[in-house]
Chains A and B, each alone.
Chain A
Amino acid sequence: MAALMQTLMEELVEEILLRLPPEDAACLLRASLVCKPWQRILSNRAFRRRYREFHGNPPMLGFICNVECANHGIIARFVPTASSCLPHDDRPGWRALNARHGRVILHRMPRQSSPRDNDFLVWDPIAGEHWELPKLPLHPYYTSTAEWNVSVLCATGATCNHLHCHPGGHFIVVFVGKNDSKMFSCVYSSQSRAWNRLNSCQCCVPFLGMAPSVLAGNALYLPCQGIGNQKEILKYDMATHSMSVIDLPPSASLYPRHSLLTTMENGALGLARLRGSKLYLLSREDSPARDAAWELSRVIDLDTLLPADEHYFTVRNDMVGSADSAGIIS
C-alpha cells in the first residue's frame, strides 16, 4: 500500500495527534520524531492550546510535599508521577505552603522572627522556573507573634480557564496576617514586581492558621484551622481586597482534620467531611451573609472505592488535600 497516511493534509494529521492520550506524556514526544511535518504541528503553540482545551483538565504530572531532612531542615519536593517526563526537583530549605494554577508558593524563615523576615519564592515545577519575591513592606502590625497565611494564584482572575496562563503568565500572591486585634493584608503582583494594596481592618477571626486556602468564585477562603474547635473561615474578596468572616456548618469543625475546604465542580465553595467511611460534600452559594446555608450536594461511600479493610478508616482518616482546578494537589 502506498504511504497514503503520509500524504494526509496537515489539518487532518492535527486531528489525529490531538487525540493522543494526555496520560502518556511521552507519546507526544515520540510522535514529534516521526517526521518534520508532525514535529512542526506538535511544537505549534496553537496546537498545544487546542490539545489542552480538547483534553480538559491536564493530567496529574506530580505532587508537592515537604520533607524533613537532617542537613537542610526542610525540603519542598516535587515528586513526578510515573507517566510524567519530569525529574524529581528539590528546593532545600524551603517549605511549600500553597499551590494553585500550576505554581507553588514557598517560604523560608531563617529564624523565629517577624513575617517580614520571611523569604517567599514562587515556583513553577513543570517549567522548572522560580521567582524570588521582595521582602514584605514595612507594617507596624508585624511582630514575632503575628499569625499569617499566603496564597498564590493566576493574575487573570475568574475569566481564566488556567489552561494557558502558565508558564509565562502573571501571578499574584496574597498575604494575610493577624496580630492581636488587627488583620492586615497585601498583594504581590508579578507584573509590577512589588507588594501593594496594603490593607488592614479590625480583627475578624480568632486564629489564622497556615492551612492552604481555597479559591472559589472570586474569593480566597482561609480555614482558621490549628487549635481548638474553630468555626470560622476568613474570606478574602479578590475584587475589593476586603476581608470578612463566614461560618462553617453548625456541626462541622476543621479541627481535628476531619473536614476540608474545597472548590466544588461548579466553582462554589465546598466542604468535604469524613464520617465513618462516608465522605459528605457540602456546598455554599456565594452570599455576603455570614451564616448562609451549606447544602449537602453529594455523599461518596469510600467503602466501595477503597480496599475493603475494616481498620482503614479508624487508623488513618485525616484528609490532607484536594485537587484544585488545573493545579496541583495541595
Chain B
Amino acid sequence: MAAPESGDGNNGAARMVTLISSDNTRFEVEAAAASLSQTLQLTILDGGGGGGDGIPLPNVDSATLSKVLEYCIKHAPAAANGGAPNATAVDRAELERFDNEFVNIDQSVLYSLIMAAHNLEIEGLQSLVAKKVADMIKGKSPMEIRRTLGFPDPTPEEQAEMNAHMLEYGWAYE
C-alpha cells in the first residue's frame, strides 16, 4: 500500500519518519504530523523513526493507520501554530468540514480509530470520534442506542428494567 502524501514536496528540509503498521506496511510521513501523537512525539524527539529504522506500531493495522495519518497530516499545520490563534475563519471552517466528512464512516472504522487514537494518544482525534459516537446516540432511547451501536438484544432482566424506567420517567422519552 502506498504511503500517504507527505505534504509540501518543495520543502526538502521537512523531516520524515517511517511508521510500520501491525501488518508490516511502512508509512513515510512528516515528523510534524506524526508528532500529533503524544506517544510518537517522544520517540521522534529522541531521533527515532528516521532512516531505515521505522517505528513499529503493533496495535494499529495499515487501514487504520492510513486513516489516522490522513487526520494528522490535515491537522499538523494548525497544531504547529499552537492551536492556531492566527488561523483564519476559512482555515477553521475547512478543518471543520474535513472533520465532519472524516468521521462519516462505518462504525467498525470509528471503533478502530478511537482505539488507535487512544493508543497513540492523539487527543484531537479521540475527541472527534467520541463526539461523533455521542452524536449518534443523543436523542435515542436506551433500546435504540443498543441497536445503533450493535449491542446484542437485552436480557429479559435488562428489558424489564428499561420498561420500568420508562414508566417512571416518561418525560425523558417524549
Q: Which residues of A contact B (CB under 8 A)?
A: 1-6, 8-9, 11-12, 15-21, 24, 26-27, 29-31, 33-35, 85
Contacts and interface: CB of A to CB of B under 8 A. Distances in A.
Nearest to A7: B111
22 contacts: A2-B150, A3-B151, A4-B107, A6-B149, A6-B152, A8-B114, A8-B115, A11-B118, A12-B118, A16-B134, A18-B134, A19-B127, A20-B137, A24-B138, A26-B172, A26-B173, A27-B139, A29-B172, A30-B140, A34-B142, A35-B151, A85-B172
A321 B74 CA distance: 46
Given A5-B150, A34-B146, 20 more contacts: A1-B107, A1-B108, A5-B133, A5-B151, A6-B149, A6-B151, A12-B126, A15-B130, A16-B130, A20-B134, A21-B134, A29-B172, A30-B141, A30-B142, A31-B137, A33-B162, A34-B142, A35-B151, A85-B169, A85-B172
A27 B151 CA distance: 18
Nearest to B172: A26
Given A29-B169, A30-B173, A34-B151, A5 B111 contact: yes
Interface centre among A1, A2, A3, A30 (most CB of B within 10 A): A30
A276 B111 CA distance: 55
Interface of B: 107-108, 111, 114-115, 118, 126-127, 130-131, 133-135, 137-142, 145-146, 149-152, 158, 161-162, 165, 169, 171-173
Interface centre among A12, A17, A18 (most CB of B within 10 A): A12
Nearest to A19: B134
B130 A19 contact: yes
A17 B134 CA distance: 6
A26 B151 contact: no
Interface centre among A5, A6, A16, A24 (most CB of B within 10 A): A5
B134 to A, nearest CB: 4
Contacts of B151: 3, 5-6, 34-35
Nearest to B137: A31
Contacts of B135: 19
Interface centre among A15, A27, A31 (most CB of B within 10 A): A15
Given A1-B150, A12-B118, A33-B162, A85 B133 contact: no
Contact of A15 (B126, B140, B152): B126
Nearest to B174: A26
A19 B131 contact: yes
Contacts of A26: 169, 171-173
A3 B152 CA distance: 7
Contacts of A17: 134
B150 A3 contact: yes
A85 B174 CA distance: 12
B48 to A, nearest CB: 27
B127 A15 contact: yes
A1 B143 CA distance: 18
A72 B97 CA distance: 57
A161 to B, nearest CB: 22
Nearest to A11: B118
A31 B142 CA distance: 6
Given A4-B107, A26-B172, A33 B126 contact: no
Contacts of A20: 134, 137-138
Contacts of A24: 138-139
Contacts of B149: 3, 5-6
Contact of B150 (A4, A9, A19, A31): A4
Given A5-B111, A27-B139, A29-B172, A12 B130 contact: yes
Contacts of A30: 140-142, 145, 172-173
Nearest to A23: B138
A-B residue pairs, 10 tightest by C-beta: A26-B172, A19-B134, A33-B142, A5-B149, A15-B130, A4-B111, A16-B133, A16-B130, A3-B150, A19-B131
A27 B136 CA distance: 12
